[in-house]
Structures are given as structure tokens and as C-alpha cells.
Amino acid sequence: MDYNKRSSVSTVPNSAPLKVGFIGLSHQKGWAVKTHYPAILQLSSQYQITALYNPQLEVALETIKELKLANATAFPTLESFASTAIVDMIVISIQTSYHYSVILPLLEYSKSNPNLKYLFLEWAMACNLDQAEQIYKAAAARGLQTIVSLQGRKSPYILRAKELISQGHIGEINSIELTGNGGWYGYDRPMKSPNYIYEMGNGNDLVTNTFGHTIDILQYMTGSYFSKINSMVFNNIPEQDIIDDHGQKTGQKVKKSVPDHLLFQGTLMRGNVPVSCSIKGGKPTKKFTKNLVIDIHGTKGDVKLEGDAGFAEISNLVLYYSGIRANDVPVPNNNKYPTEPKNDMNMYDAGKEIMEVYHLTNYNAVLGNIFRLYESIADFHYNTKKIPSLPSQFLLQGFEFEGFPTFMDALIIHRLVDSVYQSHLLGSTLDVTNISQLPNFNS
């Protein structure tokens, strides 16, 4: 495990912590207080929350008080927040449908802040490809190092699988099957569940959200984008039953416009590998199959990932590996950075059949993957891994082990999601070879 060990940031760097300005952190509820906040708290030598913005100033003030954010200031307007010089990094964790309207003015105002270096945004980075392109372009023009929370890339299971695959331990990949069953978008809708999740166009649908995260993980593990795809998108449950806190039907029904099922198949560019994928909403069953199963078959072995929930990026997984450690296993060094000297394991185990089950019993994946994303940003910022001539900014993570996903990585997923909807609407198999190309906008 070369790439999967603990980050180097646990020691205190000889430098001041990164000053974080946060939009969307509230002590009352939400994703940020369950994930970003504890991650930053555990990395207090590397990060410090210095600014909060909330359209309701009192929420920001209360949050500072309740979370004891001693160094934080609540800003009354987006402009004052974006232009203050006490912020090195802005984190935006708000509803996807607000991304576009907040980020464009934010980037404009931020020109007054000479210290701003990082912009960290949640996936799905806006509601659609067009908005995502504009956000990408504006952030690039502003010269920021972007980060997007495609945090599945930081899952220890995904990194271990990527490592096994890239080091040739399953030989050449020759087929992949993926099935996911998420709890949302099914027959029932919990009373407290917000309506926007179920309405098309808000960037929270099964394809953009569930499939987006999952297929990013798959591409990352295999080190390949797709060359050809076909998809069929279903809304077979146009009406949901409202259920109460005890799971009982209230008798009320509500309309649903987001899909509840996606069939996706395609070929990976690298190796022309067939990939079969079925992602659905609805109540998970758990009887005879896990709610997430990713089977990656190779000429010399298999990797299987299983999870109780259909969301790989926030689930604790189990990784099964079976293969043969052969003399001729290639050990590519794709990450371009120097790796540590190889030990003699390969020699010792040559030709031996190996099986491995990898599971961290108490791993909190909801927090853990976000935490590891913050670790990676700190590793980059403080260059704790002592990478020689590390660039001050990079455009995309691509399939590197080090680093973190950027707006460009997110844009590639948005293009794939867009192609999925297009393939469905056109009834065509689409060539998507070009979606991993860098953008060429006419500005």
C-alpha cells in the first residue's frame, strides 16, 4: 500500500493555518456541520475558520457562538465576505441549485481579496453542464486552485482498489459490472425530506448525484474515461407516497420528476473494457445482494467492492481481492512523483494465489472521505510529501493518486452526465472520447 497510508499532515507545519471562509455552515443542521466542520476541527493546525457568510446574518452569528469559532467573523453580505483579506480558501456547501447564482458574483467580488487561493465546492457543481462550464471558466479566469467534493476518490477502499489495479495485480481489466440501489428516488418520500431533491433540474437527481459520484470513482479506480456509452433513464415512479417518521404511509401522494432508474453501459477507452451499470432508487432490499456492488474482473484476478448503501462516496465498504502475484507484474509509476523503494514482496510471493478482504470496521465514510480530502489539500498546500518542483496550481487531478479532484474533474463528470441524458433522449450510443479533453472556451 504505497498510496493509501496516512497523510503527512498530522504533524504541525511550520506555518500559519489556512484561513477558511465558509458559505453554508450552520450549527443547526446540514451536511457541512457533519463533515466539513469536524474535518477542519481535526486538522486545526492546518485550517482555521475565519469567516462565515449566510444570507441571514443571525444564523452565521449563532453558528460562530455555538461551534465556538473563536477566530471567525460573520459577514453581512456576499461582497464583504468575498472581498475580505482574512480568507485563503472559500468553501461552499449549499444546495446545488444555488451554486450558480452565488459563485459567479462571489468570484467577481473576490478580486478584492489578494490572499484567496482555494475554492472548494460540493459536487454537483451547479445544476447542469452549461452552468458548470461557466463556473469552471470564471474560477479559471480568477486563477484559483479549485477543489470539488468528489470525495469517493479519497475512500481508502477506492484507493486500495486503484492500487491493486494499477500495479497489475488483477492483470488487464476485461469487464466490469456495477449495481447500486440508493434509498432515495423510490416509492416513498419521508415527510421531512426536502422537495427539491425530487424535482428535475436541481442537480440532485439519480444521474447527476448518485451516478455522477459512482462513475467518477469507477473511472478513477480503472484509470480510464469512457469512449462509448448508451443509457436509458426511467421515471417509473412518477408519484411517491409520503411516509411519516415511523415509516408509515400518511396517505398523501406527491409527484416526482427525477429518474428512479438508470441503465448505463459503455466501453472504457483504455482496453475497450465493457462496463455494465444499473443504478436505481427505491427501498434497498439487502436480502440477496448488497446495495452497492462493483465487480472488476481482470485476466489475473478480481476486485469486488460492496456497500450497504448505494452511495459509494459516503459508505463504508468492503473490498475483496483475488489474484495471482506473478513475477511479471508490472508496477507502473503513473503518478510521476518518486515512490518509495519496492520491498521484496513480489519476489517472495511470485505466482502465489492471493486473496484479501479489506474492511475498516469503524470507518465513518461520511466524515472520513471529506476529512481525507482536507488532508490532501493540506498535503498540497504545505507540500508535506516533499514533492520536488510542485506546481503552485494544477488543473485537474485526473487519475493521480496524490492531489484532489478539481472543477475540471467535475466538468468531465458533468459532460458524462449530460451525455447520459442525451443518449437516452436521442436513443443513441454516443462517442464520448472527447469529454475528457480540456475545454476550449471562446471568452
What does the binding site for a second copy look like in residue numbers (CB under 8 A)?
A: 174-175, 177, 179, 187, 228, 230, 232, 234, 236, 261, 263-267, 271-278, 280, 282, 285, 287-289, 295, 297, 299, 301-302, 304, 320, 322, 355, 423, 427-430
- For residue 105, give the 3-state DSSP assignment: helix
- Beta-ladder partners of 233: 262
Report the DSSP pairing between strands 292-298 and 249-255: unpaired
CA distances from 26 to 50, 76, 87, 118, 126 (A): 14, 15, 18, 21, 21
User: Which of 138, 229 has the CB closer to a second copy?
Assistant: 229
Q: Nearest approach, Cβ of 153 to a second copy (angstroms)?
A: 23
Name the packing angle between helices 407-426 and 129-142 (round to 10°).
160
Tell me whether residue 295 is exposed, middle or buried, using C-beta atoms within 10 angstroms of its C-beta: 0 to 12, 13 to 18, 19 or more.
middle
The phi-psi region of residue 124 (left if phi > 0; otherwise alpha if psi is between -120 and 50; otherwise beta) is alpha
Q: Nearest approach, Cβ of 311 to a second copy (angstroms)?
A: 17
DSSP 8-state secondary structure symbol assigned to residue 314: G
Angle, vertex CA 418, rays to CA 119 and CA 295, nearest 5? 90
User: Which of 285, 383 has the CB closer to a second copy?
Assistant: 285
All three cell numbers of 285? 432490499
Q: Nearest approach, Cβ of 428 to a second copy (angstroms)?
A: 6
Contact 404, 147 (CB under 8 A): yes
User: Which of 5, 286 has the CB closer to a second copy?
Assistant: 286
Q: Nearest approach, Cβ of 133 to a second copy (angstroms)?
A: 26
DSSP string, 380-422: HHHTTT--TT--S--S--TT-SSS---HHHHHHHHHHHHHHHH
Q: Nearest approach, Cβ of 351 to a second copy (angstroms)?
A: 15
Q: Nearest approach, Cβ of 165 to a second copy (angstroms)?
A: 15
User: Which of 197, 263 has the CB closer to a second copy?
Assistant: 263
Distance CA(190)–CA(418), nearest Å, equals 29
Q: Nearest approach, Cβ of 281 to a second copy (angstroms)?
A: 10
Backbone angles phi, psi at 214, to 5 degrees: -70, -40
Q: Nearest approach, Cβ of 113 to a second copy (angstroms)?
A: 49
